[in-house]
């Protein structure tokens, strides 16, 4: 039986994440309906509203299993959908599992694209450089939910960890050896 599930909702960055998981030697099943029996990874590339629309068939099930404690790793917009709303898609509700909203960078150049240093806000997590492509970032109401912060024309939330939910705004699968280290660390915490 595969040890992880990788959610295919019709979008996302499945190719590079699949190759990364294979390099790590992890067994996974590509699923369109999460079972709740195994840790779930949701890779994200795209707009908040489009991803929520892509999840329309599994949204209730996804929210249910995550509330029940299924370990979750969200990547990029896979982090953003955990919050209640996003400035990117006014009127579209997120999963609402983390109180807060997703806001647009107020910077001369948007999106942020490239390597950036992340600083851990929770103990036991390594620090290093990761690869970002984002115009928006999460603003959780509870500051203790912030796992990593980074600087891009001001400090911003680069990752969240709360209970069974872990999510990176950056792309660990595109962040070389350090990104793979982060994925291994996440799995060790399960």
Q: Among 20, 76, 88, 157, which one carries the catalytic annotation?
A: 76
Q: Among 5, 20, 88, 171, which one carries the catalytic annotation?
A: 171
Q: Please say whether the beta carbons of 8 and 58 come within 8 A.
A: no
Residue 20 annotated among the catalytic residues of the structure = no
Write the pLDDT tens digit of every residue in 31-80: 999 999 999 999 978 899 999 999 988 999 999 999 999 999 999 999 99
Tell me, what's the pLDDT at 46?
Answer: 84
Residue 171 annotated among the catalytic residues of the structure = yes
Tell me, what's the pLDDT at 11?
Answer: 77
Tell me, what's the pLDDT at 2?
Answer: 86
Q: Please say whether the beta carbons of 161 and 148 come within 8 A.
A: no
Tell me, what's the pLDDT at 131?
Answer: 98
Tell me, what's the pLDDT at 12?
Answer: 73
Determine the Cα–Cα distance for residues 173 and 156; give it in Å rounded to an integer: 21
Residues 76-93 have a mean pLDDT of 97
Write the pLDDT tens digit of every residue in 98-149: 999 999 999 999 999 999 999 999 999 999 999 999 999 999 999 999 999 9
- Chain centroid to Cα 27, Å, comes to 20
Phi, psi of 11 (to 5 degrees): -155, -165
Q: Among 5, 20, 88, 173, which one carries the catalytic annotation?
A: 173
Helical ranges in the chain per DSSP H: 14-24, 48-54, 59-67, 77-80, 176-188
Q: Has residue 156 got a pLDDT over 90?
A: yes
Tell me, what's the pLDDT at 13?
Answer: 77
Residue 76 annotated among the catalytic residues of the structure = yes
Task: Output the domain CATH number for residue 35.
Answer: 3.40.50.880
The total of structural domains in the chain comes to 1
What is the pTM for the complete model shown?
A: 0.96
> Residue 103 sits in which domain range?
4-188
């Amino acid at each position: 039986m595969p040890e992880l599930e990788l959610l295919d909702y019709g979008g996302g960055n499945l190719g590079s994440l699949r190759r990364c998981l294979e390099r790590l030697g992890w067994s996974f099943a590509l699923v369109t309906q999460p079972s709740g029996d195994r840790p779930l990874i949701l890779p994200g590339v795209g707009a908040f509203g489009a991803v929520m629309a892509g999840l329309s068939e599994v949204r209730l099930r996804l929210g249910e299993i995550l509330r029940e404690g299924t370990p979750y790793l969200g990547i990029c917009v896979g982090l953003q959908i955990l919050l209640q709303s996003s400035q990117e898609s006014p009127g579209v509700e997120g999963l609402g599992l983390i109180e807060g909203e997703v806001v647009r960078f107020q910077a001369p150049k948007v999106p942020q694209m490239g390597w950036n240093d992340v600083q851990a806000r929770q103990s036991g997590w390594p620090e290093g450089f990761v690869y970002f492509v984002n115009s928006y970032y999460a603003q959780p109401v509870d500051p203790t939910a912030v796992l990593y912060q980074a600087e891009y024309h001001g400090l911003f939330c680069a990752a969240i960890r709360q209970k069974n939910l872990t999510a990176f705004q950056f792309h660990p699968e595109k962040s070389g050896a350090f990104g793979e280290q982060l994925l291994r660390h996440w799995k060790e915490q399960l």
